[in-house]
Structure 1
């Protein structure tokens, strides 16, 4: 399944990047956030997949969100982490098990104050296209 392979490759790329880990203060990248998670951290969010096959080629289009959570006084930390995430993933040549990544691009990102009034929440939205190997 290329959706799971893509998520694993994104996680590995972010976990192995010194800049991302340095900004987070450790390996704080989660699929399921522990209740006692230290800030800042990243979560792998929504993953939606749709078919883009043609009459001669098979492929999938993936939309995935990477979330940044920060309690820094202001948006700066969230923007810095998002910039590092974009630098790692945008146009990355990730290796996927059972699929080939055609491209991976950051389409948009935003940072806003969360409903709790003390957390800043950043979201980077990516689009990826995969083909079976």
Structure 2
């Protein structure tokens, strides 16, 4: 059986790459675990994720924090904010199918957009919290 964290990441990836609003905001399926060297902007990458035990006396479960990073070279933060909003709408409170696990909930916790240190890239962050149980 795959780890709960990997099953969750795979389900998030599948949801985002099939969501019309997210694809429109990105201009295509530009969602990566590890972005290619010359990735076209804007794009989304998976960032830090944490998984911790959330088991009960009878069920094995996990709490997850998943971070998505949005990268944009458009003038201003509007494009980064649009991608964040599309991803949030696609994922918040959605019932995703996880291999070997059951998603109890998936909630958007916070997001932000700021200019990166290079002065030309806007960097957006969206953090999600999920709880899963083993099937």
TM-score normalised to structure 2 length: 0.96
- Which is further off, 100-109 or 48-57? 48-57
RMSD over equivalenced CA pairs, Å: 0.7
Q: Which moved more, 1:45-54 or 1:95-104?
A: 45-54
**Partner residue in 1 for 2:117:** 115
Structure 1 residue runs without a partner (length 5+): none
Q: 1:73 aligns to what SS in structure 2?
A: coil
Q: Cα offset for 1:53? A: 1.3
Q: How many residues align?
A: 133
Task: Give the CA deviation at 1:57.
Answer: 2.4
SS in 2 for 1:117: coil
1:85-104 alignment to 2 at 5 Å?
85-104=87-106
SS in 2 for 1:80: helix
Q: Does 1:34 align with 2:36?
A: yes
Measure, in 2, the Cα distance between the counterparts of 1:40 and 1:29: 9
Cα separation, 2, equivalents of 1:52 and 1:26: 36
* CA displacement, residues 72-121 of structure 1 (integer Å, 9 cap, x when unaligned): 10000000110000000000100000000000000000001111110000
Runs of 4+ aligned structure 1 residues displaced above 6 Å come to: none
Indicate the SS of the match to 2:21. helix
Normalized against structure 1, the TM-score is what? 0.98
- Residue correspondence of structure 1 range 48-127 to structure 2 within 5 A: 48-127=50-129
Question: Residue 133 of structure 2 aligns to a residue in which SS?
Answer: strand
